Amino acid sequence: MKALCWEGVDKLAVERVPDPRIQNAHDMIVKVRYTASCGSDLHLLGGYIPAMEAGDVIGHEFMGEVVETGPDVTKHQVGDRVVVVSFIGCGTCWYCDNDLWSLCDNTNTNPGIGQGLWGYEPGGIFGYSHAMGGFMGSHAEYVRVPFADHGAFTVPEQVDDLSAVFASDGVPTGWMGAHLGGVQAGDTVAVWGAGGVGQMAARAATLLGAEQVIVIDRLPERLAMTAQHVGAETLDYSRTDVGAELRERTGGRGPDVCIEAVGQEAHTHGPEYLYDKVKQQLRLENDRPIAIREAIMSCRKGGSVFSLGVFAGLVDKFPRSAR
């Protein structure tokens, strides 16, 4: 089959790779209909996620048609349309029982890498390095889905394929940011990043009753889309002091909830960006935590900051004492 493979820093190639096959009784094979690129895929491309190997198939947001099932798969049949969760959970360990699928004890086949980097191993994830299990990703014609009864969901007839793929990652991630960030009716919410996840977080904040939602980015097309389709206020960080502008729009207090949806390759301007960029290029730090740092410093006293972005390791100048 054809698949999109990582071949080194800033190198991707469409290549012929072996078709996936059933390896365990709980597996199924899905023919991909839609696969989406996540902002976190850019971190793979830049070489900032550890334990990537040449030839790895990337991608982790997808939906498709079931074409083969293992003998233990009972919830899905050949021909079903399914949307697949990007993280792989077994459904039976302590973490899965407590709805913490991304921390599953049984799906990462390379636990030593995660333990060395982060203290504990994460669960498996499709197409996201051998630190996350080394699973083939979704930017391919077919994908093997382990623990299929737990991590795949049948798409209702009234939902089209393109709408369904958003339920794999983008929509639930954005919802999690607003929900776990504690958005309440009447709140002012600021979202860093007007990409797919940032826009979903802004929509979720509105659904939860936020009175004012402000989305921060620098790309005109993203800001225009956010204003038109989400109905949020927008702020171009390249043209203003973000913290000062947010205080001005919120009566001097700052937002009640700040949601960071950018991650480890955040951009800004001035000496702060240069400082982080140089240290990252020299591998003196893995991440450029500009957006999360700005969110912490902009949030009102006693407010809530929730980070959705992916961070891989070492960061610098992190304002832990902010209140």
pLDDT at 309: 85
Tell me which H or E stretch contains 276.
Answer: helix 271-281
Task: Pick 2-168's CATH classification: 3.30.565.10, 3.90.180.10, 1.20.1250.20, 3.30.230.10.
Answer: 3.90.180.10
Tokens 């990703």 belong to which residue? 137
Which is the CATH superfamily of the domain at 171-307? NAD(P)-binding Rossmann-like Domain (3.40.50.720)
Burial of 21 (0-12, 13-18, 19+ CB in 10 A): exposed
CB proximity list for 139: less than 8 A, separation 6 or greater: 3, 4, 35, 37, 57, 58, 59, 127
Q: Which residues pair with 2 in a beta bridge?
A: 16
Q: What does 217-253 look like in DSSP terms, one character per residue?
A: ES-HHHHHHIIIII--EEEETTSS-HHHHHHHHTTTS
What does the pLDDT read at residue 236? 97
CB 170 within 8 Å of CB 196: yes
3-state secondary structure of 59: coil
Q: Where are the beta strands (DSSP E) in 146-288?
A: 152-154, 188-192, 212-217, 233-236, 257-260
**pLDDT value at residue 302:** 95
Going from N- to C-terminal start, the domains of the chain cover: 2-168, 171-307
How far is the CA of 316 from the CAs of 273, 277, 284, in angstroms? 12, 11, 9
Residues of the chain falling short of pLDDT 70? 264-288, 313-318, 320-323
Chain-centroid distance of CA 252 in Å reads 32
pLDDT recorded at residue 212? 98
Residue 172: closest CA among 305, 45, 83, 300 = 83
- What's the confidence (pLDDT) of residue 294? 92
| pLDDT of 270 | 63
Query: In whole angstroms, what is the distance from residue 257 CA to residue 202 CA?
Result: 11
Which amino acid, 131?
Answer: A
> Three-class SS of residue 43?
helix
- Tell me which residue of 70, 45, 71, 67 sits closest to 58, measured CA to CA: 45
Percent of the residues in the chain that have a pLDDT greater than 90, as a whole number: 78
Give the chain's radius of gyration (CA, Å): 20
What pLDDT sits at residue 42? Answer: 85
The alpha carbon torsion through 73, 75, 81, 87 (nearest 10 deg) reads -70
Q: What are phi and psi of 268, to 5 degrees?
A: -160, -155
